[in-house]
């Protein structure tokens, strides 16, 4: 089993898509092990997107991500990182499959409503960055019905 960091960006919160996005991960069978609504600082977001420093869109990305609260979540389950990215869709929503979150709810790459970790290593880094207090441990009642 694997953990991934999924974040609803400010546009997803403003567009009232929080419940729908959470529902997709719940319904797929993933287990929610951390959740918070936060107004992130630019400093914090620069750490989160450190790999993109130097890109032309970086300043705009930081402004966008700091423009309102975000919902940070950790979801746990089979192949959570890769499958989480498939559920979000391609970075550019115009290239996202219908049925993915971006493919169903947005159009512009700079307003693509959600984030998902791109590797297991980065997931662990992002979980530490956004949840230094750690995640929650509990047994889900669904576990034996979702996994063999």
> Is 92 annotated as contributing to ligand binding?
no
* Cβ contacts of 141 within 8 Å, gap of 6 or more: none
Is residue 89 a contact point for ligand GTP (CB under 6 A)? no
Please identify which residue in 11, 116, 123, 130 interacts with ligand GTP, judged by CB under 6 A: 116
Q: Which one of 115, 127, 130, 131 is in contact with ligand GTP (CB under 6 A)?
A: 115
17-33: b (≥16 Cβ within 10 Å) or e:
bbeebbebbeeebbbbb
Size of the site for ligand GTP (CB under 6 A): 11
Catalytic annotation on 48?
Answer: no
Among 52, 60, 44, CA closest to 7: 44
Of the residues 115, 116, 123, 127, which is catalytic?
115
Task: Find the DSSP H helices in 15-72.
Answer: 18-28, 42-48, 58-65
Beta strand pairing call for 2-8 and 114-116: antiparallel
* Structure token pair of residue 86: 């498939």
Find which of Mg ion, ligand GTP, none residue 57 binds, CB within 5 to 8 Å per kind. ligand GTP
CA distance 82 to 69: 25
Asked if 120 is part of the footprint of ligand GTP (rule: CB under 6 A), the reply reads no
122 belongs to an annotated ligand binding site: no
Applying the rule CB under 5 A, the residues between 105 and 144 that interact with Mg ion are: 118
61 part of the interface to ligand GTP, by CB under 6 A: yes
Q: Which residues bind ligand GTP (CB under 6 A)?
A: 52, 57, 60-61, 91, 109-110, 112, 115-116, 118
What are the catalytic residues? 115
């Amino acid at each position: 089993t694997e953990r991934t960091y999924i974040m609803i960006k400010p546009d997803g919160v403003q567009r009232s898509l929080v419940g729908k996005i959470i529902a997709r991960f719940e319904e797929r069978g993933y287990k929610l092990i951390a959740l918070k609504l936060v107004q992130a600082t630019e400093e914090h977001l620069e750490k989160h997107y450190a790999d993109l420093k130097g890109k032309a869109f970086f300043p705009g990305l930081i402004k966008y991500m700091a423009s309102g609260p975000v919902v940070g979540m950790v979801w746990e389950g089979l192949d959570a990182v890769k499958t989480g990215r498939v559920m979000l869709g391609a970075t550019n929503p115009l290239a996202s499959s219908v049925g993915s979150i971006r493919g169903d709810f947005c159009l512009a790459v700079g307003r693509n409503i959600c984030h998902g970790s791109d590797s297991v290593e980065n997931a662990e880094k992002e979980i530490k960055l956004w949840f230094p207090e750690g995640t929650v441990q509990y047994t889900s009642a669904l576990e034996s019905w979702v996994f063999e």
